[in-house]
Amino acid sequence: MVTTFIGYRLVWRRGTPLLAGRFQLPTRRDLDARLLGGAALFGIGWGLSGYCPGPAVASLPGLSGPLAAFLVAMVVGWWLSRRLSPAH
């Protein structure tokens, strides 16, 4: 959190990103069932497995049973999300 805190402060001082004309920030601020449900599933998966997606992919060279199960569940979750999403 400290690294992110410092990084954001440095980035915002620039005024514009290095490779774009302006920062693109989300405009929605509401909470809905899909957001809360997704956040809950993410937290449950992280708590049960000890992995979040980035470190899980980075841990592929040391593949173990629990890591493989997490990666399969993560890919199935992405697939289901895309299939069940009304926007797609």
Threshold 0.85, pTM exceeds: no
Q: Where are the domains of the chain?
A: 29-88
* Residues near 56 by beta carbon (within 8 Å), at least 6 away in sequence: 49, 67, 70, 71, 74
Cα gap 55→39, rounded to integer Å: 18
What is the pLDDT at residue 86? 76
What is the pLDDT at residue 88? 52
What is the pLDDT at residue 62? 92
Cα gap 4→10, rounded to integer Å: 10
What is the pLDDT at residue 85? 79
For 20-68, the pLDDT digits (tens) are 888 888 898 899 998 898 889 888 888 888 888 889 999 999 999 989 9
